[in-house]
Amino acid sequence: MNPVQGVDQAFWYILGISGVLLLGITIVMIYFVIRYRRSKNPVPSDIRDNYLLEVAWTIIPTLIALSMFYVGWKSYVGLRDVPEDAMQVEVFGQQYSWIFVYDNDKETENNLVVPLGKAVKLNITSTDVLHSFYIPAFRIKVDAVKGMTTYAWFYADKEGEYDVLCTEYCGTDHSAMVGVLKIVPEEEYQRWLESDEE
Ligand SMILES: [Cu+2]
């Protein structure tokens, strides 16, 4: 599965459960406030020990929490498991731009071009301070740390242009540390890769 779908599924699943709980708890709370208000129910009943109820309210929320963990874990594994045929690009974060280096030593600034239909692995590091490499459209966000290589991957399945951002405050021009990801047809990519065009 494309990790974008995995992340979105986890998001909607957790949001959905949160919504159901919010509604359910609020409705029951409002009902109790009205039904058991002092004028209707002046003497509170003293209820003790309900074995079945206690087991139910322990087990059901545990299962719900575990199911959220499972959906989240699956999406995380999707983001970390790089397909073997992925092409690789080296990424350097620096104050204040992203540098991309290709197999043939072509180097670009703030301009990541990849061919349509390919899995792309980005090997990410920093030349100075902490940055964070972020492409919202592909749900990837990974720290760029000096002296360490982290990675992210995405499946370039839609032609177009997408934002590349730094999402870790890295200095005065952090907000200007913006690049673009261009997904283009294979032939156009090859032509670009061999050319001097940035
Ligand atoms: Cu930065």
What would the pLDDT profile of 177-190 be if each residue is shown by its tens digit? Answer: 999 999 999 999 99
For ligand 1, the distance from its centroid to the CA atom of residue 182, given in whole angstroms, is 20
- Residue 197 pLDDT grade (very low, low, confident, very high; cuts 50, 70, 90): confident
pLDDT for 45 equals: 87
Q: How many angstroms separate the alpha carbon of residue 155 from the centre of ligand 1? A: 24
Q: 3-80 and 87-194: same fold?
A: no
CA 166 to centroid of chain Cα atoms: 14
The C-alpha atoms of residue 170 and residue 96 are separated, in whole angstroms, by 8
Asked if 133 contacts 166 with a C-beta cutoff of 8 angstroms, the reply is yes
| pTM: predicted TM-score of the whole model, two decimal places | 0.86
- What are the CA-CA distances from residue 76 to residues 1, 104, 141 (Å)? 12, 31, 12
Ligand 1 centre from 151 Cα, in Å?
16
Q: What is the pLDDT of residue 167?
A: 97
Domain ranges of the chain: 3-80, 87-194
Please tell me the distance between residue 65's alpha carbon and the centre of ligand 1 in angstroms: 35
* pLDDT at 47 (0 to 100): 87
pLDDT-based confidence at residue 196 (cuts at 50, 70, 90): confident
What's the gap in Å between 99 CA and the centre of ligand 1? 11
Distance of CA 196 to the CA centre of its chain: 34
pLDDT-derived band at 198 (thresholds 50, 70, 90) equals confident
How far does residue 165's CA lie from ligand 1's centre (Å)? 8
pLDDT in tens, 41-88: 999 888 899 999 999 999 999 999 999 999 999 999 999 999 999 999
Residue where the block lists tokens 């104050």? 95
- How many angstroms is it from 146 CA to the middle of ligand 1? 12
| Identity of the residue numbered 118 | K
19 Cα: distance to centroid of ligand 1 (angstroms): 35
What is the C-alpha separation between 34 and 22, in angstroms, rounded?
18
pLDDT tens per residue across span 110-164 = 999 999 999 999 999 999 999 999 999 999 999 999 999 999 999 999 999 999 9
Rounded to an integer, the average pLDDT of 1-15 is 93
> Is domain 87-194 annotated with CATH 2.60.40.420?
yes
Q: Which residues contact 72 (CB under 8 A, 6 or more apart)?
A: 10, 14
Written as one string, the DSSP assignment of the chain is --HHHHHHHHHHHHHHHHHHHHHHHHHHHHHHHHHT-TTT--S-------HHHHHHHHHHHHHHHHHHHHHHHHHHHHHH---TT-EEEEEEEETTEEEEE-TT--EEESEEEEETT-EEEEEEEESSS-EEEEEGGGTEEEEE-BT--EEEEEE--S-EEEEEEE-S--STTGGG-EEEEEEE-HHHHHHHHHSS--
The Å distance, Cα 39 to ligand 1 centre, comes to: 61
Q: Which fold is adopted by the domain 3-80? A: Helix Hairpins (1.10.287)
pLDDT score recorded for residue 1: 72
Half-sphere exposure at residue 158, Cβ-oriented, CA atoms within 13 angstroms: 7
